[in-house]
Amino acid sequence: MPIDTLINFINDLTQKITALAWALFLLTWSIGWTLRGAPIPFSKLKRVGSGLVEDSIWAAFWLAVGSTVFSIITYIVSIMVGGG
């Protein structure tokens, strides 16, 4: 398998996983805010909503860090392959 094909496969896989993770983040964040702001008298449910919002914010941070790391790795490898 040529190295260019492998790099393209890794890029494509990384983009798909990142897009899926961001979609899951948006879904969790939306559900969290919906539960947190729901006009219902269950305080436990509102706390669950707050927890989901906080967890989704941490998830967004780690998604951004992970995406950046994978982009840097892919960039370095593509330079090494192109330059070597």
Place of tokens 């994978």: 70
For 74, the token pair is 């892919």
The tens digit of pLDDT for each residue in 33-65 reads: 887 777 777 778 778 888 888 888 888 888 888
Q: How many domains is the chain partitioned into structurally?
A: 1
Of the pLDDT bands very low, low, confident and very high (cuts 50, 70, 90), residue 1 is: low
Say whether pLDDT at 27 is over 80. yes
The parent domain of residue 41 ranges over 3-83
- Kindly report the average pLDDT of the chain as a whole number: 81
How many angstroms separate the Cα of 25 from the Cα of each of 20, 30, 37?
Answer: 9, 8, 18
Say whether pLDDT at 84 is over 50. no
